Amino acid sequence: MLNYRHPDGTVRIRSFGVTFHNAQAVPPVLQRTADWHQLIYATRGVMTVFTEDGAWVVPPHRAVWIPAGFSYRLETSGEVAIRSLYLLAQQRPAGRLCSVVNVTPLLRELIVRTSLIGALDSSIPQQRRLIGVIYDELNMLKSVPLQLPLPQDRRAAQFATLAAAERGGKLRVTEMLRQAGASRRTLERIFRAETGMSLGQWLRRQKLLEALKLVAAGESVKTIAMDLGYNSPSAFVAMFRRELGQTPKRYFRT
């Protein structure tokens, strides 16, 4: 059984909810204390969380786990409803690294219930039981491949910046390599060392995450395929299914 006693009080979980009606960037948020982890949950819309190490795209009914001490920046795509939990870092559930996780139906209801209560106090028996169930669910979370790790090498970072600004294949990879000042072989080595992906894998992941934001904004599959440089909508859907196991429409519905 978890020990919920803490010298600063008996509140173990806090909540925060906000709805953004238009796409926007939220000012950077710094977790100023090592006392609280954060689970940022999207009930509607898509949000993107940026840290120094990478970017995480969070579709509806997924969440991003932010360990205590991380600073991050948040961007929203379309109308986004966010429900966040702040959890005491002493229990250390769900890992020490940022990750996008699938939220179980039970945890979803627990997040909603906690948002209505505001905070869970371990001195109240009913709330203490909710705290225990929430931590049990957090320890069972499974991460999903919705992270885009960012390289730190100057040349690779420049390439990543160019790729992020590029849509539709108008700027060829060879031209981005030239502007970054490195050969493909050099960047392949750097990307594998710093992101764990080949250059091609990283570019495909980047397109996938951009596609998630466009789907959330209400763009059609045909428009997204054209914007991202695919030969046809079916080619785009095939990529999406290969990466996430479902078509875009079914993925968002489930």
Q: Burial code of 194-224, b = ≥16 C-beta within 10 A, e = fewer? A: bbebebeebbebbbbbbbbbbbbeebebeeb
Q: What is the pLDDT averaged over residues 82-103?
A: 78
Q: Above 50 in pLDDT, residue 4?
A: no
CATH 2.60.120.810 is held by the domain 11-144: yes
| Three-class DSSP category at 99 | strand
Class of domain 150-253: mainly alpha
pLDDT the model gives residue 134: 93
User: Bridge-partner residues for 36, per DSSP?
Assistant: 88
pLDDT tens-digit map of 209-238: 888 888 877 788 899 888 888 889 999 999
| Rounded mean pLDDT, 187-214 | 90
Q: What is the pLDDT of residue 179?
A: 92
Q: What is the pLDDT of residue 61?
A: 79
CA torsion angle 127 131 132 137 (round to 10): 130
Count CB-CB contacts under 10 A for residue 34: 11
Report residue 182 CA to chain centroid gap: 30
Type of residue at 205: R
Q: What is the pLDDT of residue 107?
A: 93
| Cβ within 8 Å of residue 185, ≥6 positions away | none
How do the domains of the chain map onto residue ranges?
11-144, 150-253
